[in-house]
């Protein structure tokens, strides 16, 4: 695949993620912080987010198992952290699911929490898969493709 084709494919992939409502403006903000000295900044941040997410998802799963009754405060606190991390990388849809979950927490709705958490995990997995493909393509094409800041 030649350079131009790669560039077009990456741009199309990115546009699609925005069109599907998976990413928001924050992702662009992060790209603007990349330069020749830090060409993979966004991928680094997203990787840190995956680390956070794995830990938090695991904790929330565990907390949801400890029923009778559910500790809604604990769940809300954990989800607040997950929401923050998602928001920081521009994960728009996942963030919306986090908000829904927190609403169920505040309403003390255990069923709602569990349902929305299942949905959230699906959204997170889908986004992660797409981002991994995106960054792989970007890396193959070379640093010029994602770096935005001019010197």
Partner 1 sequence: MAITGEIFRQNLTELLEESPSGSPELHVLAVDDSLVDRHVIERLLKVSSCKVTVVESGRRALQYLGLDGETGSLGLDSTKVNLIMTDYSMPGMTGYELLKKIKQESSMFREIPVVIMSSENVLTRIDRCLEEGAEEFLLKPIKLSDVRRLKDFIMKGKVKEVEKKSLKRVRSIDCSPPLSATYSPISLPCDPSPSLLSPLSSKKARL
Question: What is the pattern of x (binds partner 1, CB under 8 A) and - over residues 48-87?
Answer: xx-xx---------------------------xx-xxx-x
Which of the ranges 26-34, 109-117, 126-134, 136-144 carries the binding residues for partner 1, by CB under 8 A? 26-34
Nearest approach, Cβ of 84 to partner 1 (angstroms)?
Answer: 5
Residue 29 in contact with partner 1, rule: CB under 8 A? yes
123 phi-psi bin (left φ>0, alpha ψ -120 to 50, beta other): alpha
* Among 11, 33, 125, 148, contact with partner 1 (rule: CB under 8 A): 33
Instruction: Tell me the site size for partner 1, rule CB under 8 A.
Output: 24
Residue 30 in contact with partner 1, rule: CB under 8 A? yes
147, 27 contact by CB (below 8 A) = no
Closest CA to 89 of 42, 128, 133: 42
Phi, psi (degrees; rounded to nearest 5) at 148:
-110, -30
Closest CA to 83 of 65, 67, 96, 70: 96
Distance CA 43, CA 15 (A): 17
Question: For binding to partner 1 (CB under 8 A), which residues are involved?
Answer: 26, 29-30, 32-33, 35, 38, 41, 44-45, 48-49, 51-52, 80-81, 83-85, 87-90, 149
């Amino acid at each position: 695949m030649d350079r131009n084709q790669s560039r077009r494919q990456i741009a199309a992939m990115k546009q699609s993620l925005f069109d599907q409502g998976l990413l928001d403006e924050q992702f662009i903000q992060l790209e603007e912080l990349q330069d020749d000295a830090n060409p993979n900044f966004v991928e680094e941040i997203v990787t840190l987010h995956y680390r956070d997410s794995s830990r938090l998802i695991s904790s929330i799963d565990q907390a949801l198992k400890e029923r009778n009754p559910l500790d809604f405060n604990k769940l809300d606190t954990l989800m607040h952290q997950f929401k923050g991390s998602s928001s920081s990388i521009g994960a728009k849809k996942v963030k919306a699911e986090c908000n829904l979950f927190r609403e169920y927490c505040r309403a003390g709705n255990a069923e709602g929490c569990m349902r929305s958490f299942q949905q959230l995990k699906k959204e997170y997995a889908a986004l992660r898969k797409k981002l991994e493909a995106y960054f792989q393509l970007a890396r193959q094409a070379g640093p010029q493709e994602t770096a935005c800041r001019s010197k």
